[in-house]
C-alpha cells in the first residue's frame, strides 16, 4: 500500500503529540557536556529555572553542609545576581529551590557518590557523605551555562534540564601533582590549582616540596633548609617556600574542597637543596652549591651517617604533624648516586620513620626494590618491573605512567613548554588509556587510582602551567572517575569541546589542541 505524504505527516504529528503527552521525550540532560561523564543520566521533559525565588535549603543544621551550600551560592550569585541564600529546613523546601541533604546509606553511591534529581519544581542533591554533595555541586555548575562562572553579572535565563543523575567514581584516588621545587608557586597559585582539581571531581594534590633546586617547606628544627635551600629555583631567579602556617592554610583550603594534600620529601636522591643547606648531611661534611639547572640523579643524602636519619625523623615528624592526610610521599626516584646496596636499607629505614609518625608510605616505583611496609603504595611512573615487584609484596599501585599521564610532556614537537623524554602527549594520548589494562600484570584490584604529575622545570607560574594542564586534566579526571566501559574518545572530545567557554569564563589558560572541535 502506497503511503500518501499527507498520511505520513499526520502520523508524525500524532507521534509527536503522543510523546509530548507522555513526557518520555528525553531532554538533553544525558547529552550535557559533563566531565567526568556520570555513571547514569536520564533526561526528562522540561527544565528547572533559577529565579530570584531560588534559595539553597540544607536539611538539618550541619555547619559543613551549610558551608557546601554557601560554596554553591558564592559561585551562582556574582553571575546570576539572584541573591541566592542558604537556609536550613527539616521539612520539604520551598518550590523553586535547591535542596542538599545527606541520605541514610545508599550503598551504590559509596563515599563520594551523589544523586541529583532535577524537576521543574526543584533540584534535590543527596549523598551518603558531604564529599558526594560537593561533587554533585560540580555537576550543577556544569549543567548551567558557562557564563555562570563569570564574576560579573550575566543575563539569564538560568535553566537546568530535568532528569536524574546517579554518579560515583571508579577509583578512590584521582589526583595531580604540582612540582613546587623546580619552580616555586605561590600560595594563591596552588589554591587556583586546587580549584581546578575540585571542578573536575579530583580529590588528591601531591605537592613535590623538595628537590635539587629548592626546599619549599619550613622545618623549624632545620631552618636553613628554607633560609638557604629555598632561595632559588631552576634558572636562578628567586625561589620561595611555604611557612608551616601557609602549608596548613593550603591543607585547609584543599580539605574544604574534599581534596587531600600528600606532601613529598624526595630522598635519597633529588636532595641537593638540603645538601647545600647543611654540610653535615654530605658524606664529606661540606655543603654543596645551590643548583639551578635541570639535571637529575647527581645528589644523594649520606646514607651511612646517623645524622641523616635524625634529619629525616625531624623533617617527617614536623610534616606529619601538619598533614591530616594518610600519606607521606618519600620520593625514592632516580637515586643514581646512591649505590643500590645503600639505597635499599635507606628506604627501609625511612619507611620505618614514616610509620612511626603514624603515616602510610607512598613512593616512586623504585621503592619496590626495598622491603615495603604494609599499606605502602608504589607510584608507577617509569619501570613496569618495579610496579610488579611492588605487587609481589602485596602493595597497591598508583598509576602515573609517564608516557600517558605526565602533564609536563609537550603536546607535540612544537608546542610551548614541557619536555618530551617520555614522548609527546596530545589530548588523545592522555585520554585513550585504561589504567587497568595498560600493564597486563597490574589489574583494577591492584590500583588505588591515577595521578597526573606536573613537573615544573619548564613552567614558572600558574598561567604557563595551565597551558600544560588544560585541556588534558579533564581527561585524567574522567579516566579516574568514569567506568572505562562508558568512556570513548568520540563522545569525550565532543563534550570537551564545550569546556573552552568555561575555561574562558574562569580566566584559565589552555593549549588550543587541533584535535578538539572547539565550540
User: Minimum distance from CB of 477 to ligand IFG (Å)?
Assistant: 21
Closer residue to ligand IFG (CB): 79 or 213: 213
Q: Which residues contact 401 (CB under 8 A, 6 or more apart)?
A: 380, 381, 433, 438
Residue placing its CB nearer to ligand IFG in the complex, 454 or 516 = 454
Whose Cβ is closer to ligand IFG: residue 419's or residue 515's? 419
Least distance (Å) from ligand IFG to the CB of residue 386?
A: 11
Indicate whether 235 belongs to the interface with ligand IFG (CB under 6 A): no
- Give the shortest CB-333-to-ligand IFG separation in angstroms: 4
- Min dist. Cβ of residue 137 to ligand IFG (A): 34
Choosing from 334, 428, 464, 501, the residue that interacts with ligand IFG (CB under 6 A) is 334
Cα 3 to Cα 346: distance, rounded to the nearest angstrom: 84
Q: Are 338 and 300 in contact (CB under 8 A)?
A: yes
Segment 345 to 364, residues that bind ligand IFG, using CB under 6 A: 364
Q: Which of 115, 408, 429, 466 binds ligand IFG (CB under 6 A)?
A: 408
Q: Does 333 bind ligand IFG (CB under 6 A)?
A: yes
Whose Cβ is closer to ligand IFG: residue 346's or residue 455's? Answer: 455
Residue number, 134 or 467, with CB nearest to ligand IFG: 467
* Residue 115 binds ligand IFG (CB under 6 A): no
199 binds ligand IFG (CB under 6 A): no
Q: How far is CA 450 from CA 92, 264, 493, in A?
A: 40, 17, 20
Q: Which stretches within 357-485 are classed as H helix?
A: 384-392, 402-405, 427-431, 462-469, 473-481
Q: Which parts of 408-499 fold into alpha helices (H)?
A: 427-431, 462-469, 473-481, 489-496
- The verdict on whether 334 is a catalytic residue reads yes
Beta-bridge mates of residue 205 = 176, 261
Cell 617509569 sits at which residue? 382
d(CA 176, CA 247) in angstroms, rounded, equals 17
Among 129, 327, 381, 510, binds ligand IFG (CB under 6 A): 381
The grid cell for 150 is 563569570
Residues 276-315 that bind ligand IFG (CB under 6 A): 296
Give dist(CA 180, CA 322) in Å, integer.
18
Cell of residue 227, nine digits: 633560609
Nearest in space to 402 (alpha carbons), one of 336, 458, 453 = 453
Q: Which is nearer to ligand IFG, 34 or 387 (CB)?
A: 387
Q: Which of 334, 352, 464, 501 is catalytic?
A: 334
> Is 406 a residue that touches ligand IFG (CB under 6 A)?
yes
Residue 140 Cβ, how far from ligand IFG at the closest point, in Å?
36
Contact letters (x/-) for ligand IFG, 361-380, by CB under 6 A?
Answer: ---x----------------
Contact criterion met (CB below 8 Å) for 192 and 200: no
Which of positions 418-457 make contact with ligand IFG (CB under 6 A)?
419, 455
Cell numbers 609536563 correspond to what residue? 408
Q: How far is the CB of 125 from ligand IFG (least distance, A)?
A: 39
What 3-state DSSP class applies to 365? helix
Cβ nearer to ligand IFG, comparing 396 with 500: 396
* Residue appearing with cell numbers 582539581: 197
Tell me how far, at minimum, the Cβ of 271 lies from ligand IFG, in Å: 12
**Local structure of 358: helix, strand or coil:** coil
Binding mask of the shown chain, residues 19 to 48, with x at each position contacting ligand IFG by CB under 6 A: ------------------------------
How many residues touch ligand IFG (CB under 6 A)? Answer: 9
Rg, Å, the chain Cα set: 25
Residue with cell 635507606: 346
* SS3 readout for 42-53: EEEEEEEECCCC
Active-site positions? 334
Binding site for ligand IFG (CB under 6 A): 296, 333-334, 364, 381, 406, 408, 419, 455
Amino acid at each position: 500500500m502506497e503511503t500518501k505524504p499527507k498520511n505520513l505527516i499526520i502520523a508524525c504529528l500524532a507521534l509527536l503529540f503522543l510523546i509530548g503527552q507522555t513526557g518520555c521525550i528525553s531532554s538533553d540532560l544525558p547529552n550535557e557536556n559533563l566531565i567526568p561523564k556520570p555513571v547514569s543520566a536520564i533526561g526528562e521533559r522540561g527544565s528547572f529555572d533559577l529565579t530570584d525565588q531560588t534559595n539553597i535549603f540544607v536539611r538539618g543544621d550541619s555547619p559543613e553542609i551549610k558551608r557546601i551550600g554557601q560554596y554553591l551560592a558564592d559561585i551562582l550569585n556574582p553571575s546570576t545576581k539572584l541573591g541566592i541564600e542558604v537556609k536550613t529546613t527539616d521539612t520539604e523546601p520551598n518550590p523553586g529551590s535547591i535542596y542538599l541533604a545527606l541520605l541514610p546509606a545508599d550503598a551504590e553511591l559509596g563515599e563520594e557518590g551523589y544523586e541529583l534529581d532535577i524537576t521543574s519544581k526543584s533540584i534535590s542533591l543527596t549523598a551518603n557523605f558531604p564529599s558526594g554533595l560537593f561533587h554533585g555541586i560540580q555537576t550543577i555548575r556544569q549543567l548551567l551555562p558557562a557564563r555562570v562562572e563569570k564574576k560579573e553579572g550575566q543575563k539569564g535565563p538560568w535553566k537546568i534540564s530535568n532528569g536524574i543523575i546517579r554518579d560515583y567514581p571508579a577509583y578512590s584516588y584521582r589526583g595531580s601533582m604540582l612540582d613546587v621545587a623546580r619552580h616555586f608557586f605561590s600560595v594563591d597559585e596552588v589554591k587556583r590549582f586546587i580549584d581546578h582539581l575540585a571542578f573536575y571531581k579530583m580529590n588528591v594534590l601531591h605537592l613535590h616540596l623538595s628537590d635539587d633546586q629548592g626546599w619549599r617547606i619550613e622545618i623549624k628544627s632545620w631552618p636553613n633548609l628554607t633560609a638557604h635551600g629555598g632561595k632559588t629555583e631552576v634558572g636562578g631567579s628567586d625561589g620561595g617556600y611555604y611557612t608551616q602556617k601557609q602549608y596548613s592554610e593550603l591543607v585547609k583550603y584543599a580539605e574544604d574542597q574534599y581534596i587531600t594534600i600528600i606532601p613529598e620529601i624526595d630522598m635519597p636522591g633529588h636532595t641537593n637543596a638540603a645538601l647545600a643547606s647543611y654540610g653535615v648531611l654530605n658524606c664529606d661534611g661540606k655543603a654543596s652549591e645551590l643548583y639551578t639547572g635541570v639535571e637529575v640523579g647527581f645528589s644523594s643524602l649520606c646514607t651511612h651517617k646517623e645524622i641523616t636519619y635524625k634529619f629525616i625523623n625531624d623533617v617527617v615528624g614536623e610534616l606529619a604533624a601538619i598533614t591530616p592526610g594518610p600519606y607521606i610521599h618519600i620520593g625514592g626516584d632516580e637515586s643514581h648516586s646512591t649505590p643500590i646496596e645503600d639505597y635499599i636499607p635507606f628506604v627501609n629505614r625511612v619507611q620505618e620513620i614514616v610509620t612511626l609518625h603514624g603515616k602510610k608510605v607512598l613512593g616512586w616505583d623504585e621503592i619496590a626494590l626495598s622491603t615495603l611496609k604494609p599499606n605502602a603504595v608504589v607510584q608507577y611512573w617509569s619501570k613496569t618491573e618495579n610496579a610488579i615487584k611492588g605487587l609481589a609484596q602485596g602493595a597497591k599501585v598508583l598509576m602515573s605512567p609517564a608516557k600517558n599521564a605526565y602533564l609536563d610532556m609537550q603536546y607535540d614537537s612544537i608546542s610551548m613548554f614541557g619536555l618530551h623524554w617520555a614522548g609527546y602527549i596530545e589530548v588523545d594520548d592522555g585520554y585513550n588509556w585504561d589504567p587497568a589494562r595498560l600493564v597486563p600484570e597490574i589489574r583494577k584490584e591492584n590500583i588505588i587510582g591515577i595521578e597526573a604529575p606536573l613537573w615544573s622545570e619548564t613552567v614558572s607560574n600558574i598561567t604557563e602551567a595551565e597551558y600544560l594542564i588544560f585541556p588534558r586534566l579533564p581527561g585524567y579526571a574522567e579516566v579516574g572517575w568514569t567506568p572505562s566501559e562508558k568512556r570513548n574518545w568520540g563522545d569525550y572530545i565532543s563534550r570537551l569541546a564545550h569546556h573552552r567557554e568555561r575555561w574562558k569564563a574562569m580566566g584559565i589558560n589552555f593549549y588550543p589542541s587541533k584535535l578538539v572541535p572547539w565550540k
